[in-house]
Structure 1
Amino acid sequence: MPSTTGGTRGSVIETSGLTKRYGKHLAVDGLDLSVPGGSVFGFLGPNGSGKTTTIRMLMGLIEPTSGRAKVLGRPMPFETRRVLPHVGALIEGPALYGFLSGRDNLLRYDSADPTADPRTRGARADAALDRVGLTAAAGKKAKAYSLGMKQRLGLAAALLQPRELLVLDEPTNGLDPQGMREIRSLVRELASDGTTVFLSSHLLDEIEQVCTHAAVMAQGRLITQGPVAELAAGARGRLSVTTPDTGDAARVLKELGVADLVVTEDRVTGEPPGTDLADVNAALVEAGVRVRGFGVERASLEDAFVALTGEGFDVAG
C-alpha cells in the first residue's frame, strides 16, 4: 500500500550512516536501520545506547551530525511538516497541562493539529480516551493522574488521528501488569489495522511478546536487527536440569564442561556443552542424580544480547 507521504510499505523508517555527536561524545555511531512497514519493531538497548537520541533525530527534534534518515519515505528533518501529521509519538514521557483535565489535554493537542477537523474534535478525544481505558478519569485533572495514567493519556494523544507510524518510547513505564497487558493488546490491534509501531523498550520479555522485528543497540552502535524469532535463534539456549540433587548435578555438569552454572533450589542451568546431550543425561543418571526434567531452554532476546555484546542488559536503561 503506498504511503500518503510518498513512502512505501517496504520500509517505513530507513537510516544510512546516521550519526550524532555531542562534543567528544558519540551518541549514535553510523546507524543503518530499516523498519519494515506493518511491523511492530522493538528498539532495544541499555542506558546510554543511543535509543532516545535516534528517536529524536527520526522525529526531527534534533539534527544529525552526519548521515541520512527517512521516515515514511521522506528525509528528516527537512520534511518534518509533511511527515509528522502521519506519525503519532510518545517520547520521553507525555508533556501534559497539569491544570487541565485529561479530556481537555487531548482537546488542546488536537487543536494544535492543522489537519484536524474541529467539528469532530470532541468525538476524537472521547474515542482516544476509551481506547486507552481512561474514560472514567476523563474529567480528572492531569496533575492528579498516576504515572501509569499519564502514560495512557500520552498514548491517547498519539492516537487522536489515524497514523501510518506510531513511535513509542517506553510506553508501559509506570503501568501495573494489567495495564501492560492492555497496552500490548492495543499495540497488536494497531498493527493489525496496518499501523507500523516503533517501540523503544528495555523490557526484553515485552519485546518478545509483542514485536515482530527488533534492533539491538549498544554504546551508540547497531549490534543486530531482524525478525525477533531469528535474533533469539542466533543465541544458544541454556541446558536445564530439574533435580532434588542439585549439588551432585552441578558437580557432574562441571566435569562434563558445562559452563556458567547457576544452581537454584531444584534446578541447575548452564551453557550446553559440545558433547551429545544424551550422554550428559546418562552421566547424571549414572552418578545417582535423580533427574526430573532435562532439556535445553529456548534462547531469549536477553541471551542473544549477551551473546552479541558480551555484557548484561541494564534494565534501568
Structure 2
Amino acid sequence: MEESEGSGESEESRESGDGDGNVIRTHALTKRYRGGQLAVDRLDLTVPAGSVFGFLGPNGSGKTTTIRMLMGLIEPTAGSARVLGHPMPRAARTVLPHVGALIEGPALYGFLSGRDNLLRYDAADPTADPRTRRTRVERALERVGLTAAAGKRARAYSLGMKQRLGLAAALLQPRRLLVLDEPTNGLDPQGMREIRSLVRELASDGTTVFLSSHLLDEIEQVCTHAAVMAQGRLITQGAVADLAAGARGRLVVTTPDTADAARVLKEQGAADVTAEEARVTAEPPDRDLAEVTVALVTAGVRVRGLTVERASLEDAFVALTGEGFDVAG
C-alpha cells in the first residue's frame, strides 16, 4: 500500500529518495494498452541515488512506456511507482520541478530559434526566476554545444541538434534527477562522446541520471548501474560490473595452428569454439586454464598467447536471454 503524502518521512528524504537511498522504486508496475497489448509486465525497478542508471533493452521492450509512467505522462494499469520519495503520478506537481527529462525527442517550436525555444521552456517553469532567465539559457546552450547555432530556427536543426536542444531544456535548472530517453539518438560519434562526458559531469555534481538506450556499448561506458528489459519484463538489474561479471568471458588462443587448437579445446570441454585467422575463441571450459594450456602444447599446438577476454554487457544479455541484442529495431 502506498504511503500518503502526510507520512512521517523527513522533507530531505522525500526530495532525495525513498528513505532507502533510492530515487526511483517501482513495485509490480504494469501497463496494458487497449487490445490487450502488455507493454510493461510487473516491473520491480530500483534506482540508487547518485547513480548513472542505464535502462537497457531493444526497441519495443517497454523502456519508453516505463519512463512515461514514472513521469506521470500515462497511468499504469496496475502496480505503483515512487520518484524522489513520492508516489507517481499523484505527486507529479511536487516531483517534476526537481526532474529534468528528455523523452521521445524534444517538442520544439520550429519557427523559433533554439535560444527562443529555451526561453519559452524556462518561462513555463513557475519556479524559474525571470531575472536570471537569459543567463540560464546561455549556460544551457553552452553545456550542450549549441551556442553557435542558438540563433537558427529549430526547424533547420538536424536530429542530433534537436536532441542537444532538448537536453539543454532539461538542464535549465539544477535537477536531482535527469531522465534521458535515447539521448544520443541522431548524434555523430563526437556528439555521443560529448553527451557521455556531460552525463558523467552531471553525476559528479550529485544528479542521479536515468538513461535509457538500446546501445549496450553506450550503457557500459557511462553507467554505474543498469537494468535489462526484454518484451516488457525486467530480466536483471544491478551494478554494471556485477552484471557483466555474471557472464563468462571468451577464451582466446592465438596460434597459427587454428584447426588443431579448436579440436583440443573441444576435447577439453570448451563450448562455442570458433576458429579465425591466427586465433581461436571459445567459451572457457570448467577446468583450470593451465591444464588447457598443457593439453594444447602436448598436442603440438604452437600457442602464441592464451587469455580470457572480460565479459561485456552484450555477453551478459545473451547469457540471460539466449538471444542476440537487436540494436537496429
Where on the TM-score scale, by shorter chain, does this alignment land: which range?
over 0.9
Q: Does 1:196 align with 2:208?
A: yes
Aligned partner of 2:223 among 203, 206, 211: 211
Which residue matches 1:308? Answer: 320
Report the CA distance between 1:286 and its aligned residue: 2.6
Q: Which amino acid aligns with 1:154?
A: G
Which residue matches 1:83? Answer: 95
Q: Secondary structure of 1:62's match? A: coil
Contact 1:248 1:289 in 2 (8 A): yes
Which residue matches 2:27? Answer: 16
TM-score (norm 2): 0.92
Which runs of 5 or more structure 1 residues have no equivalent in the other structure? none
Larger mean CA deviation between 270-279 and 64-73 belongs to: 270-279
Count matched residues: 317
Aligned partner of 1:27 among 39, 48, 61: 39
Counterpart CA distance in 2 for 1:93 and 1:243 is 49
Which residue matches 2:7? Answer: none
1:210-249, aligned counterparts within 5 Å?
A: 210-249=222-261
Q: Secondary structure of 2:49's match? A: coil
Tell me: CA distance 1:116–1:231, structure 2 relative to 1, closer, same or farther (3 Å): same
Report the CA distance between 1:61 and its aligned residue: 0.7
Report the CA distance between 1:4 and its aligned residue: 6.4
Q: Secondary structure of 2:22's match? A: coil
1:1-317, aligned counterparts within 5 Å?
A: 2=12, 5=15, 7-8=17-18, 10-22=21-33, 23-317=35-329
Larger mean CA deviation between 137-146 and 126-135 belongs to: 137-146
Report the CA distance between 1:194 and its aligned residue: 0.6
Report the CA distance between 1:106 and its aligned residue: 0.7
Larger mean CA deviation between 213-222 and 287-296 belongs to: 287-296
Tell me: CA distance 1:228–1:292, structure 2 relative to 1, closer, same or farther (3 Å): same
Counterpart CA distance in 2 for 1:167 and 1:55 is 8
Which runs of 5 or more structure 2 residues have no equivalent in the other structure? 1-10
Report the CA distance between 1:210 and its aligned residue: 0.9
Counterpart CA distance in 1 for 2:288 and 2:303 is 17
Report the CA distance between 1:5 and its aligned residue: 3.5
TM-score (norm 1): 0.95
Larger mean CA deviation between 262-271 and 123-132 belongs to: 262-271
Counterpart CA distance in 2 for 1:285 and 1:195 is 53
Contact 2:25 2:44 in 1 (8 A): yes
